[in-house]
Amino acid sequence: MADIQIDIERCKGCGLCVLQCGHGCLKMSEDTNESGNTYAMINGSKDKCTGCGLCCQMCPDVAISICNEKTNTKKNKS
């Protein structure tokens, strides 16, 4: 299962992610975050997200993360 998370405080509202998502999972908010930016948010239900990660590829602010696997979140050693 794809678990998409959006850090709305990191989002600067550019909207590039919305354009990339072919499944209509994302939309821009009506209100603003603490920095005064509109932000990307889930459009309805997360169920539409396939976990393809194109939104993550496009986000200049690494505000979106997707976890597709239960197993490892430690891709990188600390």
Q: List residues binding other proteins (CB under 8 A).
A: 10, 12-16, 19-20, 37, 51, 53-62, 64-69, 72-73, 75-78
Q: How far is the CB of 41 from other proteins (least distance, A)?
A: 16
Q: How far is the CB of 6 from other proteins (least distance, A)?
A: 12
User: Which among 65, 52, 48 has a CA at the least distance from the CA of 11?
Assistant: 65
Closest CB 64 distance from other proteins, rounded Å:
7
Are 40 and 61 in contact by the 8 Å Cβ rule? The answer is no
Task: Report d(CA 39, CA 37) in Å as an integer.
Answer: 6
